[in-house]
Amino acid sequence: MSTAPRIDIDPAAFWQDPYPMLARFRKEAPIVSVPQLGSTLLCSRDDIFVSEKQVDVFSSHQPQGLMNRLMGHNMMRKDGEAHMDERKAIFPAISPKTVKTHWTAQFQAHADRIMDQLEPVPSIDFVQAFALPFSAECLKSITGLTNMRFQDMNAWSQGMIDGIANYAGDPAVEARCNAATSGIDAAIDDMLPVLSKKPDLSLLGVMLQSGMPMESVRANIKLSISGGQNEPRDAIAGTVWALLTHPDQLELARSGAISWMQAFEEYARWISPIGMSPRRIARPWKIRDVEFEPEERVFLMFGSANRDEKHFANAEAFDVRRDTSKSIAFGAGPHFCAGAWASRAMVADVALPTIFARLQNLRLAAPPRIGGWAFRGLIDLPVSWDVCRIAGAA
């Protein structure tokens, strides 16, 4: 392990609300060894911003890591040329141009269809009613796995997320992850004849056209599902919650004084849906007085970096008027989230304006539950509204 100061945590309390402990880390030991997590954590934005780019030291290549073992060797666990080759192969599917000209209209159609099925009731869980199915239906389109049910997309994503964070080695968690990856492989197998005969702009379609080895195709589809479902789902529900609890800021978005994109970017800073990314130390290294040993594990704590007091005044507050240019919610180095443009379109260009345009007098019915630190999001969002307006109505 590194020579970083050791600080113990209560894992249950950290899952419930990591921010008080992360603030303590930034103040007392921005590089800290946490025995309960079996890792050294980098908690300051500056350290993460620099270190994430040093792939010769902070390597994403983790041959013995849970993601490689359970999901296959995807581009997120590769560095240098190997990473860039696969990133370039998928780019035609998720480039800003493709998102704008191809996917956004499909995202809007998914949103309108799900909205049409909603009915005002005394209380409904908006995570289950809208955020989850919308994110999953969009991801079905992007991946090319349109033969899946949205419920399976969400369940299999969660199964893999739990599996790759299963540092305690719970066999039941690993079994659910294995079931998820098997289901995805079966869905891929079903779509191979279709997309081989008639290629499209989906991830599966463009990877098949690129000639990428099939084991890499499978691994990268699983990667896109593991992160591509929970992040938009949690960001949609979370941003709605943040705006409903800050009505003055909601009015700024409704009036056009600030954009829906600003609201989304501030939420992603305030409560980063992906709060951590692991790295392997590839060679001896030192940051200030902390020494690292080869093969040890380091966590880049994005959720902490995005509340770093050195870069964000009143960092614990949600404020859509804030300059979020220093946020690293999508990463800060060569592993910057490849799906960032699609995620922004789903949340800011489609979901948020559609939700607040169509659900009249949307309001909280009860306080939501929230949890997580590596992946953080609302467990539920009880809401009610008066009328669901017809799509396109003034």
Distance, C-alpha 351 to centroid of its chain: 16
The length of the chain in residues reads 394
For 51, phi then psi, to 5°, come to: -70, -35
H or E, element range at 279: strand 277-281
Closest-CA residue to 275 (of 42, 6, 25) = 42
Q: What is the DSSP letter of 40?
A: E
Q: How many CB atoms lie under 10 A from the CB of residue 394?
A: 5
Joined together, the tokens standing for residue 76 give 């997120």
The CATH code for residues 11-83+99-125+226-388 is 1.10.630.10
What is the sign of the dihedral through the CA atoms of 93, 94, 98 and 104?
Answer: positive
pLDDT digits (tens, 9 = 90+) for 115-171: 999 987 889 999 999 999 999 999 999 999 999 999 999 999 999 988 987 877 899
What is the sign of the dihedral through the CA atoms of 79, 85, 90 and 92?
Answer: positive
Joined together, the tokens standing for residue 7 give 């600080």
Q: Which pTM was predicted?
A: 0.94
Question: Is a pLDDT exceeding 70 seen at residue 393?
Answer: no
**pLDDT tier, 392 (very low <50, low <70, confident <90, very high otherwise):** low
Rounded distance between C-alpha atoms, residue 223 and residue 279, angstroms: 16
pLDDT digits (tens, 9 = 90+) for 169-217: 899 999 999 999 999 999 999 999 999 999 999 999 999 999 999 999 9
Determine the longest span between alpha carbons in the chain, in angstroms.
Answer: 62
Joined together, the tokens standing for residue 128 give 């289950």
- 29-61 in b/e form (b: 16+ CB < 10 A) is bbbbbbeebebbbbbbbebbbebbeebebbbbb
Q: Which residue has the higher pLDDT, 268 or 72?
A: 268
pLDDT digits (tens, 9 = 90+) for 323-365: 999 999 998 888 888 889 999 999 999 999 999 999 999 999 9
CA dihedral 219, 222, 106, 264 (to 10 degrees): -110
User: For residue 104, what are the contacts with CB-CB under 8 A and spacing of at least 6?
Assistant: 345, 349, 350
Q: How many CB atoms lie under 10 A from the CB of residue 14?
A: 18
Question: Is a pLDDT exceeding 90 seen at residue 32?
Answer: yes
Distances (CA, A) of 196 to 191, 204, 208, 317: 8, 9, 7, 49
Distance, C-alpha 355 to centroid of its chain: 20
Cβ atoms of residues 203 and 140 within 8 Å: no
What are the structural domain ranges in the chain?
11-83+99-125+226-388
Q: How many CB atoms lie under 10 A from the CB of residue 329?
A: 27
pLDDT digits (tens, 9 = 90+) for 267-305: 999 999 999 999 999 999 999 999 999 999 999 999 999
